[in-house]
Structure formats: C-alpha cells, structure tokens
Amino acid sequence: MKFYIKTKQDLIDAIEEYGIVPFFSNEIKGFSIEENCDPKVYFSDGPGVWEWKGPVILETKCAYGKFFHKKAAYVRKDLYYDLANYRRDGYDFDARVSDGLANYNEEFLYNIIASHHSILSKTAKAIGGYVKTKEKGKDAWQPRKGFDTTIANLQMKGYVLITDFDYETDKNGEFYGWGIARYATPEEYYGKGFAKKCYKRTPEESYRKLLRQLKKINPEAAQEDLIRFLG
C-alpha cells in the first residue's frame, strides 16, 4: 500500500483506491493513516485528519467505526457489506438476540440507536442513563456503565457505525472541541437494500473476499498478520 495524506482529497482517494484504511498503526506495517500522514495535518490545531472524518464519511458514503480490534478505520461501502456479513456470521440483530448471542448491554444500547435515524453519542448516553445526574446536590442514582465497551462491540460485530461528527459551538458560532460521534445502524444509514447486499454471500465467502483485498493492497505483508488484522 502506498499513500500519503496531506489533504482531505488524499484521504478520499486512498479510501476509494484501497477500500480499507485504518486510522492507527496495527499488525500490518505501514497500513494506517497514522504512519502515512503529513505531521502538519495529523498534529494540527487547524483542519486535519481529525476534522476531516465527518466530511469524508459524508462525501464518500464509506463506513467508519471501530472495526478492527476496536480501532477506527474507513471501509469502502462495497467492502463494508462483506465486513458486516462476516462479523455478523449470518445473523441480523434480532436473530442474534433470540439465539442468546447478544448480551443485555448490547441489546439495550442497540435498541436506542436503532430507534433513531441517527443519534449523537451524548444523546444515546442521556437516554440510556449512562450520564450521571444530580438532584439537590446529591447523587440521584448511579449511571449505567459500559457505554464505550458496548458501542465498540456493536461496531466490531457489524451492527452499528459512525455516520458523522458534530461539534459544539461557542457564543460566536465557532466550532470547538472534539467531534461528537453520530451513530446509526447500517440498515438505517445505507437503506433498505443493505440487508440484501450484506447477506448475498456466505460469511465464509465474505471473509475470503476481505482477505484477498487485504493481500492485494498489502502484498508484502505476512499472511498471518493479515488474518490477525481481519480478526
């Protein structure tokens, strides 16, 4: 894989050409934005790879989320169908719950997200009781724990992705702080045709397709590293 990120268009081009672009270093040497990025747009107070995440998702309609060992990556839309299929192992979420393959925390948070077209993380936390509240100076109740772990698990298993990032604004209308993730189910994000395209192959066929793609874009990588990365 040969790419170098200096502009937002460089990032878009890399996603469209390679299909899978991890944000951070991993088992495959040189296979990340972190390792192939101009420091001026990686360590920057101005627009850079962190601020480009939302616009890149919207412009490419790619999937973005914690897909590989709970670390973030961009995955081109056509390959995400196979990634979700492989990770779901043929189950939609209701079937996974019915067969006891989803724990209560996953079911609880998934239902919050699935009941919305998309939802900000802070809103999902408020609805789910993950945020601590106070009444008359005393703790009214202890918040639910495990949001970060559960949302990462749902992304890893192919049932949730990040569709954009929203930013807080100051009194002058200027954006500030880190972007707030907006979550949705793939079915909601990609529409009614998602399930048909997702499940058109067996999970094993999708796995082999993804492995071939990883080998194609990382021809010098060891097979065991590709397998370890894919999970």
Domain encompassing residue 163:
8-230
Q: How many domains does the chain have?
A: 1
Please report whether residue 36 resides in a domain. yes
Give residue 192's pLDDT: 87
Q: Closest Cα partner for 183 from 126, 128, 118?
A: 118
What are the beta bridge partners of residue 73?
A: 22, 65
| Residue 223 included in any domain | yes
Q: Which residues contact 17 (CB under 8 A, 6 or more apart)?
A: 3
Average pLDDT of the residues in 147-155: 98
Is 150 part of a structural domain of the chain?
yes
- Residue 3 falls inside a structural domain: no
Give domain status of residue 106, yes or no.
yes
Neighbours of 6 (CB within 10 A): 11
pLDDT of residue 78: 97
Q: What's the token pair of residue 183?
A: 């979550």
Give me the pLDDT at residue 175, please: 63
Domain assignment present for residue 1? The answer is: no
- Is 176 a domain residue? yes
- pLDDT for residue 46: 76
- Report d(CA 219, CA 193) in Å as an integer: 33
Secondary structure string (H, E, C) spanning 93-158: HHHHHHCCCCCHHHHHHHHHHHCCCCEEHHHHHHHHCCCCCEECCEECCCCCCCHHHHHHHHHHCC
Least confident range of 4-18, 52-66, 136-150, 217-231: 136-150
Strands 119-120 and 138-139: unpaired
Q: Is pLDDT above 80 for 53?
A: yes
69 vs 136: which has the higher pLDDT = 69
Is 2 among the domain residues?
A: no
Q: Is the pTM of this model over 0.85?
A: yes
Give the residue from 58, 50, 92, 70 showing the smallest Cα distance to 194: 92
Average pLDDT over residues 59-72: 98
Name the band, by pLDDT with cuts 50, 70 and 90, for residue 168: confident
Scan for tokens 């100076």, then name that residue: 137
Q: Find out whether 56 and 62 touch, Cβ atoms under 8 Å.
A: yes
- Structural contact between residues 162 and 65, judged by C-beta atoms closer than 8 angstroms: yes
